[in-house]
Every structure is written in structure tokens, then in C-alpha cells.
Structure 1
Amino acid sequence: MFGRSFSGIRGVSKLARSFATEGELPFKKILVANRGEIACRVFKTAKRMGIKTVAVYSDADRNAKHVKMADEAVYIGPSPSAQSYLVADKIVEACRKTGADAVHPGYGFLSENWRFAETLEKEGIIWCGPGKYAIEAMGDKIGSKILAVKAKVNTIPGFNGEINSDEEVLRIANDIGYPVMIKASAGGGGKGMRIAWNDKEALSGFHLSKQEAKSAFGDDRMFIEKYIEEPRHIEIQVLGDKFGNYCAFPERECSIQRRNQKVIEESPSVLLDEETRTAMGKQACMMAKAVNYCSAGTVEFLCDKHKNFYFLEMNTRLQVEHPITEMVTREDIVEQMFWIAAGRKLPDRLINWPLKRYAHAIEARVYAEDPRRNFLPSLGLLTKYIEPRGEFVRCDSGILDGSQISMYYDPMICKLVTWGDDRATAIKRMDEALNTYIIRGLNHNSAFLQDVIRSKRFGSGKITTNFIKEEYPDGWTGSHLTETEAEQLIAATIAVHQERLAKEATNDQQMESYEPVCEKDLVATVGEKEYKVHMEFEGEAMTLEIDGKKVQYFEPTTEGYSMQYCGGNFDVVLRSARAQELSKFMIPKVQPDTSKFLASPMAGSLVKVHVKEGDRVEAGQPLAVVEAMKMQNELYAQKACVVKKVYFKPGQNLALDDVIMDFDVSA
């Protein structure tokens, strides 16, 4: 839990209690207009302070963790967010129904909707966020750049206007010079943005980003700016109160990204020196002051290798990665948002920044996605879910064992945070935490995250936003064990298999039916190396440790065992010598010729079909767009062909590998 995580740093609980006199509350009851992990996160602080909590939920979230965690819960509509979490009137009605006197928006959904904030104020409901002007001004990426220039904040060269046509895209992109970044004015979270290196990519990126922005934000205005090569994404958390006081927190480095969405964040950044750090903090506060900012917000910058930094955008909400700032500074940012909204002045210790750093912290975003398939979203039921625990481990999640990961919302499973006295310690603890994380039932990226933090380049701190693309140019192919880890796994498998065979011979029973509890310690030898193997059976359950390292799961299969070890999933096949020889003569599986049909690479919704039956298409031509978890994916023809049959229409839902259309490749 959040409180337990904070207790890992001495004195935090005492600090938290010192924010208010005994019995004083900023408000009595708060409704969180959100779902998942961020709703749970806000509830934790509210409950610690003694504030009553209200959740809202859609059809897909009836049994969600945030619903169970709240004191009250109100149903607000069907699963699609456009019919539930994005309907402001339903949130307001839920406040009336429950008597909630405050609303925290979390992030996403209505968190940066100034009309929603204004409506709440008219209703006399406290809004835990900035004022209408700040939200509106910073929500417009075109307008915010103009404001940044006026505030004397460094900005990226580009065109500070709206792009409306293909002709404008090509003209402006060529005027600026490739590469360029095509971005939605209302964008965020990696959505509605594309990098273009030539005219073809500029046009494709413009249309895809425009559609994505319309779907995600209801605003498809686009602009273009110069793409900074070898960029690092570094941001400053700010707080502002209603008395004109501002505070800049230590920076967060968010350069490890895929599809322009953050994957791993840390604080502080290894790039910055104190002079640059202070300058960025000052410019962040200048930006906040320019819009009379009053709440928690984040000013994002792009930095080049020479430590030049440029304003990117300001997010007028609580940021996803705020936990690392909390662990570094021992401050509860959500609580500060509560008090600011209630009219309280910032504490002197925050006004008199820079703040002391107590640790180095790292956050890894665990997603339901398949890193082997270009991070496509993964849907399904979590058949087994166990989060890592530890004094220096924090898990912010919104799911439980048995939760369903839906196509309607973001695929995040958890924000896993570790910290220590230095970066190396924080990385080591993250590696250990990922080792003990058990997620079964769907694809996820925990093994990929472990691969990243174990890499020499990440360890050196020489990272950019191109890290994943450069380190995995052909995509991620899976976990790779060290020679020692592989030996450990083989030794343990053989030891378990021997024990299983012995039990079968004496009792004519399968290992999984052992009862009652049975424990056994063995020593497995590989060459001159010895490995201690500890086995424990209880009914169908089994735990296994190799030299003190826990194997997350270990299950028999038809030809061996399936297991999770050192963060990766592995299958060990055990055959007799004869069976192994015979296996060499088995007919290999023939892979289908995927050029003859177009299959959906993920479960989602068909947004657009570019072609019709009878159309002749060329290799590389766009055919359709599939959307899942608020991300759009363009699908292309592999070969020149003729469209024979189209099986789905825009708006229909697709399962993984559903055939959208098939082709005549001989025509």
C-alpha cells in the first residue's frame, strides 16, 4: 500500500501529519472522476487523511479495484469512455447524489477539460486542479508555445500555427527541414504525434495523428515543429497556490519511451548539473506564473546532448510518473493538491526550493502489451497476479487477481517504483522487484523492462528518446539468460523431474496431487558447480527456489515444464533420447502466407477501411486502421494484389487475428 511504501523512508509519516492541525480537513468527501490505478492512488491519500471517497465506474469496471476501495461508488454508463468517464454531466450528477464536495480528476479523461472545471465551480464543488485559464492556455499546444515565448521560456523552432491541409504540411515541413514532429494541439500521452523524415511520412503522420487526436481528445488541430535529434525528455514538477507562490521539484528523466509514450522514468537525471537543474526549475516556475497556475502541474522540456533545453508542453494535471518525485522528496503531491484546492498556502519548505533530494528513484510502467509484436496491446483475464513487495518497493496499480484488461482503456497494469541512496541501488532493486512480479493470463512487458534496466547503455545513463528504437532495431525478441542462470534453471528442472519420477514410482501419484505440505532440499550439480534447490508442494501448488532465487511459477507441460525465472518465461523440454531423435523427423509447421489476407494484429475496433472489394493495391499501401486502448495502428498491404473480400465495417470490434479482408495475389 501507499502508506507502507512511504514508511520505507524515515520521517514521511510524521511529515504527512504535519500538513494540518488535528481534525482539520480540506473537504469532507472527494469523488475521483477517473478509474484504475490513479483513482486508487488518490483514494489512498484521502483515506489516510480521513476524507470520505466516491468512485465512479462503467460496465467494464463493475468489479474493479477502485470501486471496491471507495466508500461509495456510482455507475455512470457503458464501457466506452465517451459514454461514461468523458461525460461531465454524469460526474456532476454523481457528486450531487453522494454529496461529494470535491472532485479530483486524476489524469486523462476530463482532467484537462476547462469546461468541466468551470461546471464544478458553478455547482459549488471544489476542483482539485488548476483554473480554467491555465487549463485552456496550456491545453492548446500552439497557444502554449506563443505564451512560452512571451514568458521568455526556451522553445523549439517551428511553426506556431494550425496546419489544415496536405499542401501546408509539405510546405511547412520543408521550410523547417526534416526531421519534423507532427503534433496534435490537444495531444498528450504519446497520442496524436508522429516523427516524419520525408514527405511521405509527413502526410501519413498528419492524417493518422489527426484521426487519433479527434478520437482521443475531440480536437484534431495539428502543428509542426523541428524534431530535436538525440533528445532527452526531462520534466519539472511544479506546485502553485492561490497566493502566487510556486515550487519546482527535482527533475524527472522520461527518455525511455515507445511510440512517444513513457516506459521508464527516474529522478534525478544523470545528464543535468546543478546549474542546468536550477535554470530548468526557474523556467518551469516562469511558465506556471504566466498562467497563474494553481495546483500540481508538470512542465516538460526536450534537452539535447549539450544540455540546451526547450519547452515542450505543460500538463495541467497530476502526472502519471509523480510517484518517483514523492519518493525522492518525501512529499505527498496529492495531499498538496487537496490543500491548494481548499485555499491553503504552500508550506514554507516548498516555497523555499530547491528541495532536498533523499533518494534516487526509478519507475517502470508495466503494461498489458506484447513487446515481441511491437508492443501491441494485450487483452484478457489476469489468471494470476502477485505484486512484488519490499521496504523500497512501491506498486501503484488498479487491478486485482482475476481482473479483466479491457480494450476500452489504457493498458497499464501497474507503476512499479524502487528507490535507494544512489542510481545503482535503485536499478538493482527494480531488477529484483521485476524478478518477483507474477503476471499470468496475458502478454505483458515486465521481461522487456528488465532487459532495458539490465543493459549496459541504461546503466551508463547515456539514454535518449530513441533508446528503444536504437537498442532493439529489429524489435525485442525475448529474455536471455546468462550462462549461470541457464545452468541454474536446467539443474532445478532435472532435480524436480527426478523427484517427480521418484514419487510416481513409489506412490503412483502425480507431483501436483501431493498432500499435505511436502518440502525437499536437493543439491544439483552442473560440471563443478553446485546449486541448492528448495521445493515445496501443497496440493496443486508448488514453490521452487534456486540458490535463494524464487521461480515465480513452475508447471508441468506435456513435454517438460513451463516457468518464470529472472523475469522471463521459459519452456524446458525433457525427452528420451529416442523421442528426441524422432522429433527431428517431424514435419515442421508451415507458416501461413499472410500476404493473402489482412488479419488484425490485436483485439480492438476497426476505425477505417481505405479500400473496397475489387480495388487494386500496391505493396505498402494503407488498407485499414485498427484502434485499441486509445492507440491507432495503420495496416498495410504486403504485396501488390486485388482486394477480394472485406469482412468487417468501420465501428465493428475485432478479435486478435480476425481476418479483415483477403486478396487475390495472382491477379
Structure 2
Amino acid sequence: MSRFDTVLIANRGEIAARVIRGCRAQGYRTVAVHSEADRDALHVREADVAICIGPGPVGESYLCIDKLIAAAREGGAGAIHPGYGFLSEREDFAQAVQDAGLVFIGPDPDAIEAMGNKSASKERMIAAGVPCVPGYQGAGQDDDLLVAEAIKVGLPVMVKAAAGGGGRGMRLVHEVGELKAAIQSARSEATNAFGDGQLLIEKAVLQARHVEIQIFGDRHGNVVHLGERDCSVQRRNQKVIEEAPSPAVDPSLRQRMGEAAVAAAKAVNYVGAGTVEFMLAADGSFYFLEMNTRLQVEHPVTELIHDLDLVAWQLQVAQGDPLPLAQDAIDARRHGHAIEVRLCAEDPARGFLPQTGRILAWRTPSGPGLRADHCVIEGGVISPYYDSLQGKLMAWGETRERAIHKLIGMLRDTAFLGLASNRDFLIELLSHPEFQGPGVTTGFIAEQYPAERISALAEPSAGQRALAAALLVHTDALALQAGGALDASLLGWHSANHTPTLLKLRRGEQTEALTVSQSGSGEYRVAVSDAAPDTTGGVESLRILAVDGCRVDYLADGRRRHAWFARSGSQLWLASETVTALYEDATYEPAQAAEAGSDGRILAPIDGKVVAVQVEAGQTVAKGDPLLVLEAMKMEFRLQAPVAGTVEAVMAGVGGQVSLRQLLVQITPAA
């Protein structure tokens, strides 16, 4: 094996930035690749060399093997690190890298192939004696055959894509009548996401935990595990919170699960970093799910409790050196507790719809036991070509309770403004008594957070709306002061008696009429319709003490507080306590039109690609009928008719790229 001193990272986003930092710490030179959409991305700025490899769509850039290898040669790289996602678990990519005379920082192609298909890997694990969930993983893929096999296994079952990961192509089915539709939907999603529509059926292990074991192998016959991570907090099979160690795993169970994971790795002669995922049942039994032949998104919590760098280990193993630590030494290093949350550009109140747009403000605290792996740049643009994950925020503590407390504080002091995110929802999850107790199962979010509760959590209080109104007035005054080079003492000055400012504050579809009274000392009194009972005359009183960048310090209810905000024209993003909302000064806007969609105009809810058109001009549709399917951020969005009527025109075709609020379909409403 040839030695190398320069590494190309065949990825983007936070994992590319994290690998670049890991390489730099070990003295390696780095080469970043980027699409045209990522020209100003963080990983591009942090690498020693950056090479553009094509347009924004991944099929024209990050998934082009020949372009990546050409970039490695151009940049002088002797090795390629695949990150996670994209080509990281493609054996043909690993093979192409090796055939080009480069080092692939990961397992050999044979191991990736053996574990990359869930059906084939499950057969191999059964042969190796690793406990597996009962089910069907055969070659027959006919819809009726899969339905029959699911009935044979016994409902409920999981319909799962044999390729890929990340929860895509997975459906939980409870009723026989739902099987065929679930199979067809899972196959379509798997084909779009992974280019492979093969499915398998597994008995659903309900009220279980998702526990995975980090393994590592070298070319000297050594395979070790670095304990477990609990990834049970999931939404639609997508991990949301990860922690290590698992609150449900004792030393004896850890040893048994670790031994099973090591056996799985040895069965395919595994080299490098990998993760063996298990379902842990309430009775302590566990079952093999799959093996991820790459570094996982959640690897930092393992690093934090062992005080080591897994990217450094990957580089060492890729150079042909033995693992730096034996199993006993690894076990002795385990200390404390670490928790990670995934910060995503998505709107929980709107069904977790991914968000695109410009980031107006970004701040996250640092300090002992805190870590942020992210790709966020203030002023940067989140495009529709990639998934919604923007970063991971982590905290380490001596105990689980302390780690949770520190991470909640970190999230509260994080400003991510300009588009909706799941920051507030993450704080809510971490604060839930059930999570803070012995931990939760994979059904936690679905059981505890129905859509209506999530929407209610996003509703700002009277005090928060009053702060938004005051800030709109206050920042207007600051802009006037700065533009006119006025003395700060004139802020809020009036030549006559104070006259309340009439303000129409819009939030989403709701517009509220407020009156804002102010004085020169930053004192504001805002008349709000549902002000707290102890306020006088329905008025919220507050005093803005200081504005520093995107932070505002203010006094309310006798308490000094702070919030995060970002102003863009008439719009104001405000993150106050655990509610982030977008407000708009609609005082001088014309009256709004009728309810969105009632005129039969169907607009794109997000930038994306049209993958299916299900209607044509002249067709009669009922309210709720499917119209077309968009794909954005690796997810599908199915648009339905908001009214009954006749399709007048379809303005989008399959394969076309559309922009947010672009007109897609025009329906003439029925009389």
C-alpha cells in the first residue's frame, strides 16, 4: 500500500468540513470538491485546494466517480475519504479509487458489497450466528409475493429498501390492506434515492430501542468495538438525537452486543470504521438490522466519551498501520456521557418541510464539553439539491443529566435565523421528562408529538409577539439614527406628546393589529389581544437594554433576558425562549387575497425537481386528488388539489427544476 500525504474529501457539508479538520490535525493536506451551488460553502473555504466538479444536482457532480478521481489527480491527492452518504457505501466507487492507484479511506469493495445490500448482509449475518429479525430477504420482488411473505411473517412488519439508509424506502405496516401501497411507495422512494428498488420484509419490533455499535478493523487482523450509541429518538426512521452510552445498556449487554458486532465485521474481513445497527427489545434481546460501511453522522458522541478522533484512526488504518488501541484500553477510556442533536433546515410546524433560503444569522456557543460540527455560514444559501442537515450540536458531561442540561443551554444560545429550523423542537425533546428519565423507544416522537401538538409548541406568546413588535419599531429607529448620523440620545425622541405606533404584525397566515408606545429610554408598551392576566389593560411592557449584532437584551416582568433576531426589510426573525418565528410588518401592505389555493393556483412549496406529473390539462379533479410529486433535499413532496375543478394547465414537466412559489398547476374551481 502506498503512503499518502494529501486527502481528497468526496463529499460536502458538515462531514466534509469535519474530515478536513481531522486531516489538518494529523498534518495532511486536503482537497475539497464542490458543485457550482456549493462554490462558497464552508468545506470549500477550509480546504487547502478546492475543485469544482459540476452543477448543483448530485448526479452531475458529487455522484460522478470519474470527476472525483480526476479531481484527486488534479489536486495531488493520494487518498480519497468518502464521508457519509453519496458514494460512501458504493463498492464500485471504492473499486474505482483503488484501480486508479489511490487509497480508499474505508473498507475494501468486497466488504462494502457484502454489507451494502440489507438482504444479502442479513443472510451472511445469519450464517455468522448474529441474531437477526425474522423476515423475508429473497430475490423475488413481485408485489403479490412480498404481500404474501409479509402476511407469513405476521403484521406489523417493516417494508425496507435493501440498499441505502437514512430511513428512506421504509414503511411500517399494521394492516394487510395497506401492504401493497406501502410496498409500491417504498420501492419508488428507494429507486429515486438509491437507484435500487429491491425490498425486504422484517417483523416489526415495536417499543424497541435503536442501538448501534461502533466497530473498527485494520489490515493486521484486529477488530475492536468502541461501545454503543443509542439512536432511538427518531422521526419516520430518521435519527434526531443520539447519545453514548445507551441508558438501556449495562456492561454485560454491552459486551454481548460488542462481540456480535465484532463477529459481523470479521465475517466480511472488515477494515476501517463501521457501525453495526441493532434493534434492542424490551426483554434485552437484540437483532441485527444492518451494517453501515462508513463513518456515521453520530460518530462524535463516541469520540467524546473516549476522548479520541475516529478520523485520525481512519487515516492511520488507511496508511496500513495497526489500530492505536486494543479492546481493553478502549474500554478503560470510556467516561461520562455525550448527546448529539441534528440541526436541520426544516419546519416542524409544517410537517417538517425542508427549507431553502439565505441564512441571516448564525451563532452557537463554545466551551468545555460543547462541540458543533456544522457547515453553516452566515449569509450563505441553503439550496434544494442536498438534504436538510446543517450540523450537529453536542455536549459531554460527567453524567447523562449534566450532558442533557448543557446541550439544552447550548441550543438556547444558538441563533440559526433566516429560515425555519428544528432548533426549538430539539429543546422540547431534550426537556421531555420521558427522555430525561430512563430514555425512550423508537416510538417516542410519534406517540408524544402528534402534528397538532408540534404546531401548538410553535405558537409565540403575547410577550414574544410584543417583543417582535417592539424590535421592529426599535430597529427602524436604529436604522434612522445610523442613516442620519444622529446622536444616540435622540433615539425615540418626539417633538410632541408620545403617539402610539399602529402596527400590523403578520405571522404566517395570521395578521394582528397592535399599538406600540415608546419612550426615549427604550421603554415599550405593546397592546396585545391576549396579554397575560396580570398585565394592565392588555398591555405588555418591556425595555430594550442593548442590541449587539443579532442579540437583543431586554427587561420584561422584572427579569433581564436575551433573544436572537435577524432583520431583513420588513421581515423579522426572532428566537425568544423556545419559540422561533418569522414576523412581518404588514402595516402598509394592501389587503390580502383569499385563502391560498382557493383560486386553484398550486405553487411549489420548495425549490425542487419534478419527478412525477399525475394530471393533464382538461382533467377533472376532486379536492385532495394527487397532482404531481416534487423531490428536494432527498425527500418527496406530493402535491394535492386544494379545490375540486378542471385542470386548466400544467406548467411543469418531469425532470424539470422548479423554484419556491413557482406556479405548477392551474385549476379552474368547480362552480
Bin of the TM-score, shorter chain as denominator length: 0.7 to 0.9
- The residue number in structure 1 matching 2:17 is 40
What code does the residue aligned with 1:377 have?
A: P
| 1:251 equivalent in structure 2 | 228
> Which residue of structure 2 lines up, in the alignment, with residue 112 of structure 1?
89
Query: Does the Cα contact within 8 Å between 1:181 and 1:227 map onto a contact in 2?
Result: yes
Select between 329-338 and 654-663 the one with higher mean Cα deviation.
654-663
Give TM-score scaled by structure 1 length: 0.84
CA distance in 2, matches of 1:562, 1:464: 34
CA distance in 1, matches of 2:361, 2:641: 38
Specify the code of the residue in structure 2 equivalent to 1:568: V
C-alpha deviation, 1:597, in angstroms: 5.7
Residues 134, 291 of structure 1: 8 Å contact kept: yes
Partner of 1:629: 633
Q: SS at 2:378's partner residue?
A: coil
Residue 330 of structure 1: how far off its partner (Å) = 0.5
Q: Which of 281, 290, 295 is 2:267 aligned to? A: 290
1:653 Cα offset (Å): 2.1
Counterparts of 1:258 and 1:421 in 2: how far apart (Å)? 28
Letter in 1 for 2:424: A
Residues 491 and 232 (structure 1), Cα distance of their counterparts in 2 relative to 1, 3 Å cut: same
Q: For the residues of structure 2 that align with 1:444 and 1:278, how far apart are their CA atoms?
A: 38
TM-score, normalization: structure 2? 0.84
Task: Give yes or no for the alignment of 1:553 onto 2:565.
Answer: yes
- Judged with a 3 Å threshold, the aligned counterparts in structure 2 of structure 1 residues 132 and 552 are, in CA distance, closer, same or farther, namely same
| Corresponding residue to 1:95 among 68, 72, 75 | 72
Judge which range, 69-78 or 167-176, deviates more.
167-176
Question: Displacement, 1:556?
Answer: 11
User: In structure 1, what residue type is equivalent to 2:204?
Assistant: Y
The residue type equivalent to 1:645 in the other structure is A
SS at match of 1:605: strand
Q: Which residue of 2 aligns with 1:433?
A: 410
Match of 1:564 in 2: 575
What is the identity percentage for the equivalent residue pairs of Structure 1 and Structure 2?
37
Distance in 2, Cα, partners of 1:179 & 1:639 = 35
- 2:242 matches 1:230: no
Q: 1:467 to 1:659 in 2, by over 3 A?
A: farther
Give yes or no for the alignment of 1:412 onto 2:389: yes
Distance 1:54 1:414, change over 3 A: same
Q: Which residue of 2 aligns with 1:504?
A: 492
Measure the CA separation in 2 of the matches of 1:573 and 1:123: 55
**1:48, distance to aligned residue in structure 2 (A):** 1.1
Alignment partner, residue 613 of structure 2: 609
- Residues 438-490 of structure 1 show CA distances to partners (whole Å, capped at 9, x for unaligned) of 1121111111111111112221234122222111223511546999xx77996
Q: Aligned letter for 2:291?
A: M
1:535 aligns with 2:545: yes
Shift of 1:661: 3.0
Change in Cα spacing, 1:347 to 1:227, as seen in structure 2 (3 Å) is same
2:12 partner letter: R
Shift of residue 197 of structure 1?
Answer: 2.3
CA drift of 1:534 comes to 7.0
Give me the CA root mean square deviation.
Answer: 3.7
Q: Do 1:163 and 1:223's aligned partners in 2 also have CA atoms closer than 8 Å?
A: no
C-alpha deviation, 1:277, in angstroms: 1.5
TM-superposed deviation, 1:554: 7.4
Q: Which moved more, 1:103-112 or 1:353-362?
A: 353-362
**C-alpha deviation, 1:382, in angstroms:** 0.8
1:477 aligned residue:
455
Distance 2:647 2:471 in 1: 56
SS at match of 2:152: helix
Alignment gaps of 5+ in structure 1: 1-24, 511-518, 580-585
- Asked whether the 8 Å contact 1:491–1:526 carries over to 2, the reply is no
Query: Does the 8 A contact of 2:83 with 2:294 survive in 1?
Result: yes
Task: Give the equivalent residue in structure 2 for 1:202.
Answer: 179
CA shift for structure 1 position 322? 0.4
CA distance 1:277–1:548, change in 2 (3 Å): farther
Q: C-alpha separation between the residues in 1 aligned to 2:544 and 2:645?
A: 58
The equivalent of 2:279 in structure 1 is 302
2:428 to 451, 457, 480: 451
Equivalent positions of 1:17-28 (< 5 A) are 27-28=4-5
Change (3 A) 1:426 1:594: farther
Q: Which moved more, 1:600-609 or 1:150-159?
A: 600-609
2:203 is the alignment partner of 1:192 = no
Distance in structure 2 (CA, Å) of the matches to 1:201 and 1:572: 41
Figure out how many residues of one structure are paired with residues of the other and give that number.
622
Residues 509-540 of structure 1: CA deviation (Å, up to 9, x unaligned) = 99xxxxxxxx9899999969xx99672247x8
* Structure 1 position 76 matched with structure 2 position 53: yes
Contact 1:240 1:346 in 2 (8 A): yes
**Are residues 386 and 173 of structure 1, via their aligned partners in 2, closer, same or farther at CA, if it must alter by over 3 Å?**
same
What SS does the corresponding residue of 2:145 show, helix, strand or coil?
helix
Q: 324, 327, 330: which is aligned to 2:304?
A: 327
Q: Which residue of 1 aligns with 2:242?
A: 265
- Give the Å deviation of 1:132: 1.3
CA contact (8 A) 1:247 1:352 kept: no
Task: Provide the secondary structure at the position in 2 that maps to 1:418.
Answer: strand
Cα distance in 1 for partners of 2:76, 2:628 equals 46
Corresponding residue for residue 660 of structure 1: 664
What SS class does the counterpart of residue 116 from structure 1 fall into? helix
Distance 1:119 1:194 in 2: 34
